[in-house]
Structure 1
Amino acid sequence: MVRVALVTSSFLPRFGGVEEHVLHVARDLRRRGHHVVVWAVDQGDETPDEVDGIGLRYLPCPMPARDLGALARFAAGAPGALRAWRAAARADRPDVVHVHCYGPNGPWADLAARRAGVPLVLSSHGETFADAHGVFDRSRLLASALRRSLRRAAAVTGPSRYTLDDLVRRFGLTPGGGVVVPNGIDPAEPAAPRPAWLPGRYVLAVGRMVGVKGFDLLVDAYAHADPGGVSLVIAGDGPDREGLRRRADELGLRERVVLPGRLSRPEVVTAMRSAALVVVPSRVESFGIVVLEAWRAGVPVVATTRGGPPEFVADGENGLLVDPADTPALAAAICRVLDDDALARRLGETGGQAVGAYTWRAVGDRYAKLYGAAGVPAR
């Protein structure tokens, strides 16, 4: 048995890609007989004490900044934060501290691991280049902390080589260093009843509505393609939602572009199963879990060439790859799938076969082996 502290930048009740990854990894490690606790950044939410028997702690993670007000707040909050992290380490006695998505959680987790004398494992999820606020470009302090943590880490992972290469180029990870541990998916995730708002035939995109996800590029490509009788559904929420609505209106697409907001997990499963095509138009993508969701549904997918997808999507075999900034090319790819039933069926079937390699059990296997290779003792 290994005592594992998974230290995440965000967790329940918030739920996105990182939160889902950490939750499924925690479940899998616990099923293997390991003792798992999740330490998450306290963001002021009402939070549970446990989930599925996994203990949760929400810890303060103050960070200093250049302006005097921020420095004063850090000075006031740091002693209490230090006590909270010490108490968590004493209570949970981790054999390994495993950081997911390095943010304010990272320096505090690094400190906790050093004080406890246990290995530190870092898993990047693309936060260094895909953060909507560009925090690593704005905060020299956080960037410097990440560089120090990478030097100290017993192991580093990313969901794609693209993600790890960014750590090499900008943050000092040893060239060729790090291990690729892809995202996973639940092959039997339940579906919801089909909602009345879903159109009859539609192209689907899912994700947080921020610029990096490229949904504005998709709206432009959809207008360029002008596929008669086919709607565009973009599910998710975020600061760009109203801008997408305005762009659709400007293009005369008000009745054809559906923005239902954030969907529950079962609703995502249902929307995937009913789609004619799923598009991942990201300006950059660390991995692309939406591809796995489309594959699980047996639906053809068009994915971005920018980032991780080209590492696991075989163009023309289990999906189509296209630069989303090339509007005519993205429009042509959409039309190609919608107009060719045999191609759509083949891409969906081949994707459905490929998704079996991306279970959470497979992800848990890789992390468990990584702990052993990093010298984490088993009790």
Structure 2
Amino acid sequence: MTMPVSCEPGRGKTTVTRVRLVLVTAFPVDPGAPRGGVEGVSVVLCGALRDRRDLDLHIVTTGGVDAVQVDDWGAARIHRLPWTAPRLLSGVLGRDARRLREYVSGLRPDVVHAHDTYGIMMEPIGTPRVLTIHGFIHADTRVSGTSLARPRALLWKRIETRAWARYPHIISISPYVRERLTGIATGAVHNIDNPIADAFFDVRRTDGAAQVFCAATISPRKNTLAVVDGFARARAQGLRATLRLAGPQPVPAYAEAVRARIRQHGLDDAVVLLGQLSTDAVLSELAGASVSVLMSVEENAPLAVQEAMAAGVPVIASSRCGMPYQIDDGESGFLVEPDRPDDLAARLLQVIGDDGLRDRLARRARDVARERFHSERVATRTIGVYQRACGIPPPPARRSPSAPRAAATTGGRLPD
């Protein structure tokens, strides 16, 4: 371990052993403008960890620089390395990955926490290590709509599962992830939700014209065409609302298909393509949204759902993959089949047309979000995983003197 914060007995100071944590992940140049869920999660988690006296936090990321760049971010230090590979796959398996491992090893970490594809690159490192799986690249590739999607997906599956099998600690952000790891993971799997920024709990809702908000990449995986079709059918049945689509457009042909579908439905004046938004802009959109929609066909634990829940915006989401583990259908939101736009239309009409229902869904969603997604709660549980990875025993559980002693527990390891 690194040096203790204080080693002065008898002077009223507590000795705190500082763990040098190297968190290897996608991290934005501007923490206020993350691009995508992994960057968003990383900003929130690191923000909750960086000022702790028991952690010496170093964030290592790649891209956007020609030479190594090191900057302070509060009490944390951000190390940004060049990325030279033309494609993600060649970088993950080649020189960029080797350079990244060498750099991280040079920081002499006590524990490495790798996120997403960085987990593949960090797997061979000898330091105690933790992996958070945000998505399945092979599954995303299969529904990407790009050329050679199937053979590329098969290759990614081999690469990903090989890395997962070798991690001693994996953080599962959804039961959906744990299910997909069955028969693959050999280490401990810890159930910890993604954190969201505290600002989403403080959104003040504004009354105004009905708005449907969708924060998602314009892509086949996010199923934007189904959102447009469902909205169009609701409009045809009398819904008076606008649809606001926020997200980048990485697949030009699909983005053009979305624009063509909007024109086909005669919705040019009712649908707004907002592009990539900053966190502040998303907060503003949620303040005025009547409902948030996400119709993805492949997803683990989308931040868009959690952020809307925290903001008190009712969510209508796909019933596939990880989203049923975020939303209790009919209680904290609604789930619909992503290939049935008529069902989406019916729920839009129901939620926007019933103030009492919207309020009930919003209250329950906020309660769930605060219990599961609050950054401090997530950070505390994540630190517990670091301690296990480093072999630091957890503090003894406190027991009320009046509480009866627990009966004998069942055999086997308890789930995290």
Shift in CA distance, 329/106, structure 1 to aligned 2, threshold 3 Å: same
The residue that corresponds to 1:360 in the other structure is 375
> Partner residue of 2:243?
232
> Paired residue for 1:21?
41
Q: Which residue of 2 aligns with 1:322?
A: 336
- State the partner residue of 1:109: 122
* Pair 45,306 (structure 1): closer, same or farther in 2 beyond 3 Å: farther
- Secondary structure at 1:316's aligned position in 2? coil
Equivalence for 1:260: 274
Q: Per-residue CA shift, 1:337-375, capped at 9, x if unaligned?
A: 122221112111221222211111111112111122233
TM-score, normalising length from structure 2? 0.76
Shift of the 63–233 alpha-carbon distance from structure 1 to 2, 3 Å rule, reads closer
Q: 1:55 to 1:303 in 2, by over 3 A?
A: same
1:308 to 300, 304, 322: 322
Contact 2:232 2:265 in 1 (8 A): yes
Q: TM-score, normalization: structure 1?
A: 0.83
Residues 1:260 and 1:193: Cα distance change in structure 2 (over 3 Å):
farther
In structure 1, the gaps of 5 or more residues are none
Relative distance call for 1:217 and 1:141 in structure 2 (3 A) is closer
Among residues 209, 231, 235, which one is paired with 2:218 in the alignment? Answer: 209
Residue aligning to 2:105:
89
> Alignment identity in percent?
29
Name the amino acid aligned to 1:21. Answer: V
Partner of 1:241: 255
- Count of matched residue positions in the alignment of Structure 1 and Structure 2: 359
The separation in 2 between residues aligned to 1:322 and 1:81, in whole angstroms, is 40
The aligned residue for residue 222 of structure 1 is: 231
Q: 2:298 aligns to what SS in structure 1?
A: coil
- Relative distance call for 1:185 and 1:276 in structure 2 (3 A) is same
Distance 1:5 1:333, change over 3 A: same
1:9-42 Cα shifts (integer Å, max 9, x gaps): 4543553211121122222222222011111133
In the alignment, structure 1 residue 130 sits paired with structure 2 residue 140: yes
Residue 128 of structure 2 aligns with which residue? 119
Instruction: Note if contact 2:164-2:185 (Cα within 8 Å) is conserved in structure 1.
Output: yes
Letter in structure 1 aligned against 2:329: D
Alpha-carbon distance in 2 for matches of 1:354, 1:82: 41
Deviates more, 1:7-16 or 1:301-310: 7-16
Report the 3-state secondary structure (helix = DSSP H, G, I; strand = E; otherwise coil) of the residue aligned with 1:178.
strand
What is the letter of the counterpart of residue 196 of structure 2? I
Check the 8 A contact 2:25/2:61 in 1, yes or no. Answer: yes
Note the residue ranges of structure 2 that are not aligned, 5 or more in a row: 1-17, 394-416
Counterpart in the other structure of 2:413 = none
Contact 1:122–1:156 (Cα < 8 Å) also in 2: yes
Alpha-carbon offset, residue 43 of structure 1: 5.1
What SS does the aligned partner of 1:364 have?
Answer: helix
- Which residue identity is paired with 2:50? R
1:281 corresponds to = 295
Match of 2:385 in 1: 370
CA distance in 2, matches of 1:297, 1:327: 25
Which secondary structure does the structure 1 equivalent of 2:79 belong to? Answer: strand
**How far apart in 2 are the matches of 1:249 and 1:317?**
35
Q: Secondary structure at the match of 1:31?
A: coil
Q: How does 1:145-224 map to 2 (within 5 A)?
A: 145-168=159-182, 172-174=184-186, 178-189=189-200, 200-224=209-233
Deviation per CA, 1:81-116: give whole Å up to 9, x if none: 6456424422x21111111012xx3343223x22xx
Amino acid at match of 2:22: A
Indicate whether 1:4 and 2:13 are aligned. Answer: no
SS across alignment from 2:352: helix
The alpha-carbon distance between structure 1 residues 137 and 192, as it changes in their structure 2 partners (threshold 3 A), is farther
- Who is 2:60 aligned against? 39
Distance 1:199 1:281, change over 3 A: farther
In structure 2, the CA distance between the partners of 1:17 and 1:298, relative to structure 1 (3 Å rule), is same
Residue 218 of structure 1 deviates from its aligned partner by 0.7
SS of residue matched to 2:22: strand
Q: Is the 8 A contact 2:112 2:129 kept in 1?
A: yes
Aligned partner of residue 37 in structure 1, secondary structure = strand
Contact 2:211 2:291 in 1 (8 A): yes
Structure 1: how far apart are the matches of 2:379 and 2:149? 29
Cα offset for 1:193?
12
Structure 2 distance, partners of 1:155, 1:330, is 39
Q: Which has the larger radius of gyration?
A: 2
Aligned equivalents of 2:364 and 2:122: distance in 1?
41
